Amino acid sequence: MYQVAKISITCLAVAFVLLLAQRMDAKEKSERVLRHIVCFKFTDEAKEAQIAAVVKAFAALEKKIPAVKGFETGTNNSPEGLNKKFTHCFVVTFTDEKGRDEYLPHPEHKKFVKLLKPILDDVFVIDYWSR
């Protein structure tokens, strides 16, 4: 009888731990966001006014594309000298991959890319899930 009770308690404890872990995982997933990091290196011929127009147009996408849940931008100020002439960084936030999948082919995004291309020397993009 003692052995059966011990096994039952052990099974209940394992079930409780698994349930707790599952709930914690679900909560963690619901708090995560998908970050789309974009860094630009502009051509040497790019004028400050052209760069400013690109930055303004990129920022405007947050209001034009509902899938965009957040937007940040900034210019490099690292003292390390490792930016490889990439000067501008943008962070676009989505709640999920579906949002990013809507954003990439969106007509407003494509219009922005058209504005950008003539002065773009190189681009670096990386996406990740926040923790």
pLDDT band for 24, please (50, 70, 90 cuts): very low
Q: What is the pTM of this model?
A: 0.77
pLDDT in tens, 82-122: 999 999 999 999 999 999 999 999 999 999 999 999 999 99
DSSP-assigned beta bridge partners for residue 34: 94, 129
- The CA–CA distances, whole Å, from 40 to 37, 51, 126 equal 10, 10, 12
